[in-house]
Amino acid sequence: MTDKNTENWHVLSISDTLKQLNVDSERGLAASEVEHRHQEYGLNVLTTGKGESPLQLFINQFKDPMIYILIVAFLLMLYLGEYIEAGVIFIIVLANAIIGFMRKLRR
């Protein structure tokens, strides 16, 4: 490979790209070149990271400043004996968490 740090590959023509990478468009890479590139760059494999558990995804829905404010408001309403308002705030927080959780699961 002549220029490993070439930027803007998207502007090169196909023939220029093949030339930069020393690839024959008809035959591809020679076996020796494949082995050399494996040793130099490693295998062309995507690694998968460990994802978050469903419980962790649900808990993460409560990590937002607005949710903290709503939880404080919920506790304040309970303290003041405003149970209907506290219930409404609780339902809003819970609905937000469920909707956010479901959206994260679909990704």
| Distinct helix (H) and strand (E) counts, the chain | 5, 0
Mean pLDDT of 66-80: 97
For 6, residues 6+ apart whose C-beta sits below 8 A from its C-beta are 12, 20
For 3, residues 6+ apart whose C-beta sits below 8 A from its C-beta are 20
Sign of CA dihedral 13, 30, 40, 51: positive
pTM for this one?
Answer: 0.54
pLDDT of residue 55: 93
Has residue 73 got a pLDDT over 70? yes
pLDDT of residue 2: 45
Separation in Å, CA 103 to CA 51, 53, 91: 15, 14, 18
Backbone angles phi, psi at 5, to 5 degrees: -100, 20
pLDDT bucket at 57, cuts 50 / 70 / 90: very high
* Residue 62 burial by Cβ neighbours in a 10 Å radius (0-12, 13-18, 19+): middle
pLDDT bucket at 32, cuts 50 / 70 / 90: confident
